[in-house]
Amino acid sequence: MKFKIALIGAGNVAWHLAPALEDAGHVITEVFARTIKSAEQITNRVYAGEPKDDLDFSGSEAEIFILAVKDAAIMDVADEIILPEDSILVHTSGSVGLDMLNYSSASYTGIFYPLQSFTKGRKIEFDEVPFLLESDDEETLQKLRKLAKSLSPLTYTVRSKDRKAMHIAAVFASNFSNHMIRIAEEVMHRQGLDFEMLKPLIIETISKSLQMGAKAAQTGPAIREDYETLEDHHRFLSYNENIAEIYRLISQDIIDS
């Protein structure tokens, strides 16, 4: 089954999702952004699709409208958008509940959450992306499942409460681990050292964690309760109180776990 789809938003998710949907055989009818220029950045990536800077979609041929906007904007945009009869409105957020779409003019609502980190310009293999789906309407859920399966075999029905837990877990696994790497870069560069030397360690750590389980794969001074080394490291990091405190808190949590 192929769908006509309108995208609301022009951020990282829309940038990746528009061409992926088109490659899967669907038609992108419109892309909305607050400025035409931003919308054109997405429509330029697909064969067809009208850029829009207003939320009146009453004349649209689209059946599914995908809100790919910031979490804080979902409810306001859903309330403002004008949709045709029998339309399906979904959002792509991991942490915002389905109920945030209750006040929209959509006939049906749902969640279409790709569990992946998106950055413009970096290729994503969509057949490896899990899609978390939700709707209170069974027919709508079936359509979303067909849409997701056209992109990836990894599709799951997940309620809002459980999806929030998964999103929090994803923040720890992705955003926080990436921030730890950024801190590692800072420590190395401050000493005039080449960060490339750490890359084999980072790759092995992630690979081992996924293969063995994170608890079994844990190494380092905290798990050994090597307090002398921990105190020495903490003193070294005194040039930045925030980083020193992060080191102390995480080390203590490793010890306590």
Summarised one tens digit per residue, pLDDT across range 166-209 is 999 999 999 999 999 999 999 999 999 999 999 999 999 999 99
Does the pLDDT of residue 136 top 90, yes or no? yes
Residue 53: per-residue pLDDT: 95
Query: How far is Cα 154 from Cα 47, in angstroms, rounded to an integer?
Result: 26
pLDDT band at 19 (very low <50, low <70, confident <90, very high): very high
Does the pLDDT of residue 115 top 90, yes or no? yes
Residue 61: per-residue pLDDT: 96
Q: What is the mean pLDDT of residues 40-46?
A: 94
Q: What is the pTM of this model?
A: 0.89
Helix (H) or strand (E) holding 142: helix 138-149
| Of 147, 189, 179, nearest in space to 24 by CA | 147
pLDDT band at 137 (very low <50, low <70, confident <90, very high): very high
Query: How far is Cα 67 from Cα 11, in angstroms, rounded to an integer?
Result: 11
| Cα Dmax for the chain | 69
| Of 150, 137, 22, 40, nearest in space to 90 by CA | 137
pLDDT band at 29 (very low <50, low <70, confident <90, very high): very high
Whether 117 and 93 have beta carbons less than 8 Å apart is answered as no
Number of Cβ within 10 Å of residue 25's Cβ equals 10
Does the pLDDT of residue 1 top 80, yes or no? no
Q: What is the mean pLDDT of residues 122-130?
A: 95
Does the pLDDT of residue 150 top 80, yes or no? yes
Residue 58: per-residue pLDDT: 95
Percent of the chain with pLDDT over 90: 96
Q: What is the mean pLDDT of residues 229-247?
A: 97
Number of Cβ within 10 Å of residue 87's Cβ equals 22
Q: What is the mean pLDDT of residues 218-239?
A: 96
Q: What is the mean pLDDT of residues 126-154?
A: 97
Whether 29 and 6 have beta carbons less than 8 Å apart is answered as yes
Query: How far is Cα 92 from Cα 198, in angstroms, rounded to an integer?
Result: 34
Residue 63: per-residue pLDDT: 97
